[in-house]
């Protein structure tokens, strides 16, 4: 009797995972996620839109230029060209899936502008609620897709390996029950690791669990030192802070200090719309010197409920009205440019194990991601990976197998301490002695939890890159910024 085809196991409920699952048709897919209802992905929180050169006078070549400049030309140029050329078709595909993009009265796409972009090329859906709109549209499609079986409320804590390749996963539910799922291929679409920092724009689930699992299995990593900090989150007490989208500055909001002076004056030719790493370091330096930074969005005209409903609701919930008063801001850990090394087809260094979206690193973002290229890469990459897996042959079924486990998590009090450690030592500005001391602490405590082992690898990469590049900024004592560290 012919054996039924093994499913493709996709881990993650964000747009990368759902795009992969949809594109893999008609192959069977098991879509797994931690939240019982599929919520909690960073995709749903994304206020930026999708960058695509679809406006008059714009071009994929110009989009490529801006992506390379933002990434400090550490990018893989071929990957950048592919992504920027795929952007218009990606927007069209999303519209076909039911994403209702914002349009003019004449029916044309409304195009915004964000930091690092030389043109208006940001496509939004529901103003600053683009991520949530895309998640809703794709989730509805997945729910109707006969080839996809969705399972929420489970964490994948181990990989099954046979003859050096990944052939399955082990899940654990809230009651501690395990299930083994054999797979034709396993796709990590688990997002980033911003939640390992004391202050982040990410949801709690963006804690690097997928990356930690891949590293435990021996997968190669790439560019782990490059963590992007968004410069404008609402400065509040807490861990996950509300983001104030860059599109506000594109619409006329201004960055100012406590005295009302322009924060970015003389700092960069693009001023308030400089790349995120530049603005984040400026805000950080002002705070470290005892000052304060603010976003004045009162010059913005128009309907806030239509253009910036997410920002408006977040501010009003904390007793602030962005239409009438300036907003206190702070940088937050936002996006990981590094991750599991993968090619443009999502293949990692381990047969049978794929990675897509923020958990993966194919070089497209370089040392600093250009605004609104993340949702673009997640969807375009997911479509490309899913189409490949739809016709890919599974690994040979013979041979012995063994399990690779991620391991136990840190206790809550230890996790809190680790977040504070990374915030201080591995934040927007880094220093050799602080990185060394933090790495030693994590190395000594590596057995206490998988988050500690992952942090050790991050800090190791940050120590090894001794010169500033993009979002990785070194200001070592006795050395000027960007020079050789001691």
Question: SS3 for 233?
Answer: strand
Q: Are strands 111-112 and 122-123 parallel, antiparallel or unpaired?
A: antiparallel
- Which secondary-structure segment (H or E) carries 81? helix 77-96
- Angstrom distance (rounded) from CA 272 to CA 371: 14
| Strand order through the sheet with 360-361 | 221-222, 339-341, 360-361
- Distances in Å between the Cα of 349 and the Cα atoms of 29, 166, 360, 424 are 22, 11, 12, 32
Task: Report, as residue numbers or ranges, the catalytic residues.
Answer: 276
Give the Cα separation of 340 and 406 in Å (integer).
15
* 193: β partners: none
Q: Three-state SS for 310?
A: helix
Specify the DSSP class assigned to residue 24.
Answer: T
CA 283 to chain CA centroid, nearest Å: 21
Residue 130, φ and ψ in degrees, nearest 5? -60, -50
Contact 90, 382 (CB under 8 A): no
Residue that has been written with the tokens 């008063």 in this structure:
325
Cβ distance 88 to 53 under 8 Å? yes
What's the CA gap between 161 and 285, in Å, rounded?
47
């Amino acid at each position: 009797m012919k054996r039924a085809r093994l499913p493709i196991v996709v881990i993650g409920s964000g747009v990368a995972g759902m795009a992969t699952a949809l594109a893999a048709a008609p192959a069977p897919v098991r879509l797994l996620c931690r939240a019982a209802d599929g919520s909690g992905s960073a995709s749903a929180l994304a206020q930026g839109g999708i960058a695509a050169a679809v406006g008059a006078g714009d071009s994929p070549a110009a989009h490529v230029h801006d992506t390379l400049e933002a990434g400090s030309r550490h990018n893989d140029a071929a990957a950048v060209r592919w992504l920027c050329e795929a952007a218009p078709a990606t927007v069209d595909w999303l519209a076909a899936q039911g994403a209702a993009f914002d349009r003019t009265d004449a029916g044309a796409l409304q195009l915004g502008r964000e930091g690092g972009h030389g043109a208006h090329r940001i496509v939004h859906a529901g103003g600053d609620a683009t991520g949530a709109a895309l998640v809703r549209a794709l989730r509805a499609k997945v729910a109707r897709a006969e080839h996809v079986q969705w399972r929420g409320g489970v964490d994948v804590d181990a990989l099954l390996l046979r003859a050096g390749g990944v052939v399955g996963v082990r899940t654990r539910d809230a009651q501690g029950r395990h299930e083994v799922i054999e797979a034709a291929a396993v796709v990590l679409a688990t997002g980033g690791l911003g939640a390992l920092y004391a202050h982040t724009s990410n949801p709690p689930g963006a804690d690097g669990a997928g990356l930690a699992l891949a590293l435990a299995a021996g997968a190669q990593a790439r560019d782990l030192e490059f963590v992007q900090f968004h410069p404008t989150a609402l400065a509040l007490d807490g861990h996950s802070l509300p983001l104030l989208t860059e599109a506000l500055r594109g619409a006329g909001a201004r960055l100012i200090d406590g005295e009302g002076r322009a924060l970015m004056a003389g700092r960069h030719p693009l001023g308030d719309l400089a790349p995120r790493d530049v603005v984040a370091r400026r805000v950080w330096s002002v705070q470290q010197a005892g000052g304060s930074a603010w976003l004045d969005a009162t010059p913005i005209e128009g309907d806030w409920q239509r253009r910036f409903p997410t920002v408006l609701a977040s501010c009003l919930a904390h007793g602030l009205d962005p239409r009438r008063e300036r907003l206190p801001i702070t940088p937050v850990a936002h996006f990981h440019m590094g991750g599991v090394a993968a090619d443009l087809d999502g293949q990692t260094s381990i047969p049978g194990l794929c990675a897509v979206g923020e958990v993966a690193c194919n070089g497209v973002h370089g040392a600093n991601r250009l605004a609104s290229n993340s949702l673009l890469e997640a969807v375009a990459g997911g479509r490309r990976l899913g189409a490949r897996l739809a016709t890919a042959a599974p690994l040979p079924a013979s041979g012995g197998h063994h399990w690779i486990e991620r391991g136990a998590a840190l206790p809550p009090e230890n996790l809190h301490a680790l977040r504070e450690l990374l915030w201080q030592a591995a934040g927007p500005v880094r220093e050799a002695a602080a990185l060394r001391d933090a790495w030693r602490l994590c190395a000594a405590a590596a057995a206490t939890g998988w988050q500690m082992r992952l942090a050790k690898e991050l800090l190791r990469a940050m120590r090894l890159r001794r010169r500033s590049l993009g979002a990785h900024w070194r200001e070592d004592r006795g050395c000027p910024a960007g020079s050789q560290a001691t």
